[in-house]
Amino acid sequence: MARVRNNQGHRNKTLNIFMRPFLEQENTQEREAFLQARETIKPLQDKTWKLAEKIVRRHYTDADVKMAYHLQDKFENVDTIAKDSCFHFGYLAKADDENDQDVNDYVTKHFDFRLDGNINGNENSKQNDFAYAYFRDELKGKVSKGDKCNPDINIEQKWGDGSGEENSSNPHWTQVDQANERELGLTGGKENQTSYSREWNNDYQLDLIGREYCRDRQISCDQKEFAILMTWQQAKSKLIMAHTKWIETILEQCKVLKAGLRDHTYLEQSIDMARKMGITITETDILATTSKGIVVSNQDILNHLTTLKNKTQTRDQKIALRKLYDQQAQK
């Protein structure tokens, strides 16, 4: 049997469809750190939310909220209740504070419990990296309005070609980022929230009195409570960092593999390297797989040919074909 010569298409499929997924499933220190950070963040956020609710209710008591609802229902011109998920908490620093704050200096940060909330205490610093890290498995391989999602896209954008210089903004990055946002429901406001963002955000809402902007409500807490809030906010950053470090090791390995594949004249050389990594593939696996990872058999091609002719079908024929398709899909 003639040896199959390698080409760029074969190399790309070998790397992106077979080798990279294998690397992402390997049990490494970086992957384990990411999984642990992801596993612990939601329980920590739930616990921290209870503290936030306690602090808020000291300032806006249940009785106050009940009275505000009463007035709002009674008078048409009263609109004083708003649900909120983010707060400006702060405390008055003392002389012995470890953070070297001056006496009578009011220390304050913005704490946002929403899926795309900031991680640096700045109200205007919304970001998607936390959502992409937490819902990485849910995003991986999904397609939103024809565009493929990729939870690692921001990391890949910053990593570039591994030289230390990140990629410039480009249509591909924008397209994938928007697909991720649509899939998670991070764009389009509350009316466009998918179950991911909706269920997450609905867990963290409180009725507050005042205008709808959280910057209009500075809420005091004590220094210990503030430290607990900071620990949670930093844990969100640690998840993003763990995700970044793990994927960067994958990208570094892929760079080495890509260079090796480039030197392979024949497909069997690439297959041999894959097998030595622990990946079981054959030439048929690569040749029969499209660049999108879809396996196309000879029967698939022949079935497609039949759809291109004798197109006039009766209703009964259409129903029969649909039943056959459903039966094959269940196998």
* Poorest-pLDDT segment among 53-57, 107-111, 292-296: 292-296
Longest dimension (CA), the chain: 87
Whether residue 308 is predicted with pLDDT greater than 80 in this model: the reply is: no
Of residues 109, 139, 131, the one with CA closest to residue 48: 109
- Kindly report, residue by residue over 98-115, the tens digit of the pLDDT: 555 555 689 999 999 999
The edge-to-edge listing of strands for the beta sheet with 106-112 is 106-112, 86-92, 218-220
Whether residue 327 is predicted with pLDDT greater than 80 in this model: the reply is: no
Task: Say if 325 falls within a structural domain.
Answer: yes
Q: Are 270 and 281 in contact (CB under 8 A)?
A: no
Residue range(s) defining the domain that contains residue 320: 297-331
* Poorest-pLDDT segment among 76-80, 98-102, 202-206, 261-265: 98-102
Task: Say if 161 falls within a structural domain.
Answer: no
Task: Output 81 or 44, whichever has higher pLDDT.
Answer: 44
Residues whose CB is less than 8 angstroms from the CB of residue 85 and which lie 6 or more positions away in sequence, other chains included: 112, 113, 114, 117, 201, 204, 205, 206
Whether residue 306 is predicted with pLDDT greater than 90 in this model: the reply is: no
Task: Say if 84 falls within a structural domain.
Answer: no
Number of domains in the chain: 1
Task: Say if 58 falls within a structural domain.
Answer: no
DSSP codes joined into one string, 51-100: HHHHHHHHHS-HHHHHHHHHHHHH-TT---EEEESEEEEEEE--TT-TT-
Give me the chain's average pLDDT, please.
Answer: 87
Task: Say if 192 falls within a structural domain.
Answer: no
Q: Place 72 in a pLDDT band, splitting at 50, 70 and 90.
A: confident
Task: Say if 33 falls within a structural domain.
Answer: no
Whether residue 274 is predicted with pLDDT greater than 70 in this model: the reply is: yes
Q: Cα–Cα distance between 271 and 281 in angstroms, integer?
A: 7
Task: Say if 331 falls within a structural domain.
Answer: yes
Sign of the dihedral through C-alpha 29, 30, 35, 41 = positive
- Kindly report, residue by residue over 130-179, the tens digit of the pLDDT: 999 999 999 998 988 888 999 999 999 999 988 888 888 889 999 999 99
Task: Say if 307 falls within a structural domain.
Answer: yes
**What pLDDT is recorded for position 204?**
96
Residues whose CB is less than 8 angstroms from the CB of residue 98 and which lie 6 or more positions away in sequence, other chains included: none
Whether residue 296 is predicted with pLDDT greater than 60 in this model: the reply is: no
Kind of pairing between the strands at 106-112 and 147-148? unpaired
Whether residue 314 is predicted with pLDDT greater than 80 in this model: the reply is: no
pTM of the predicted model as reported, rounded to 2 decimal places: 0.82
Report residue 115: phi and psi, to 5°. -60, -35
**What pLDDT is recorded for position 13?**
94
Q: Among the residues of 60-205, which ranges form H helices?
A: 62-74, 129-134, 136-139, 153-159, 171-184, 195-202
